[in-house]
Structure 1
Amino acid sequence: MNAFTLAVIENISKIPKGRISTYGRIAELSGNPRASRQVSRILSTMSSRYQLPWHRVINSQGRISLKPGMGYEEQRRLLEDEGIEFDLQGKIDLKRYII
């Protein structure tokens, strides 16, 4: 496993309950600010194996990237269970919750 992948796993693992991060922020913290899509791929392939809090990673617009019927509802429920609030348009206030 390469150093970037290890750093992504470590940084996602550190997101505390009730907080979120973005794909781009995780990429930046992991050493490659232009690799947000790679972060998404790592999440989709390694979340189960490393028990990552995948639901705490959202896009840079403060939205869940998953589509309805494809995991959106589960991610929203998990975030709401941790106290994350959504506005009427389904956005999360990044300034309030981001690490």
Structure 2
Amino acid sequence: MQDPAADIAEVVYEIVRLIPAGRVSSYGAIARAVGMISGARMVGFLMGRCGAVEPKVPAHRVVNSSGLLTGKFHFGPGNEMQRLLEREGITVENDRIRDFKKLFWDPSEEIR
């Protein structure tokens, strides 16, 4: 028998893998896309645990609904999350994505 939590995690990871480089999504948008209306915290928890998951999950592309890098501590010391985003052409100022609304990728709209 399959573990339902593992199934949800894999669906979340698959959605995050679809976020294009140079774009970002939010914990809540991903939760809504998988049918978890109040699941933003669960998505955040899964992003914090995905470091060893294969294929890789670009968790750095998932931020809070205001564009804040609230999960940056999962990337270790320093500004690794910011560095990964900036390498994709995303500007981060004071731990917030500049032009968040313009760069926002909504899985409910993008995945058909």
Q: TM-score, normalised by structure 1?
A: 0.84
CA displacement at 1:76 relative to structure 2: 0.3
Does residue 54 of the first structure (1) align with residue 59 of the second (2)? yes
Residue 110 of structure 2 corresponds to: none
For residues 5 and 27 of structure 1, do their structure 2 counterparts lie closer, same or farther at Cα, with a shift above 3 Å needed? same
Q: Distance in 2 between matches of 1:9 and 1:71?
A: 24
Alignment RMSD (CA, Å): 1.9
CA distance in 2, matches of 1:47, 1:11: 16
**Structure 2 SS opposite 1:25:** helix
Q: Give the match for residue 20 of structure 1.
A: 24
* Structure 2 length-normalised TM: 0.75
Per-residue deviation at 1:9?
1.1
Q: Would you say 1:98 and 2:104 are equivalent positions? A: yes
Report the alpha carbon displacement of residue 5 of structure 1 after superposing the two structures with TM. Answer: 2.0
Structure with bigger gyration radius: 2
Q: State whether residues 24 and 62 of structure 2, in contact with CA within 8 Å, keep that contact through their aligned partners in structure 1.
A: yes
CA contact (8 A) 2:82 2:95 kept: no
Please give the secondary structure, in 2, of the residue aligned with 1:61: coil
Unaligned runs of 5+ in 1: none
Deviation at 1:70, TM superposition (A): 4.3
Contact 2:50 2:59 in 1 (8 A): no
Unaligned runs of 5+ in 2: 106-112
Query: Percent identity over the alignment?
Result: 33
Is residue 7 of structure 2 the alignment partner of residue 9 of structure 1? no
The amino acid of 2:82's aligned partner reads R
Residues 29-58 of structure 1 show CA distances to partners (whole Å, capped at 9, x for unaligned) of 111121011001111222421310010001
CA contact (8 A) 1:47 1:53 kept: no
From 42, 45, 61, give the equivalent of 1:41. 45
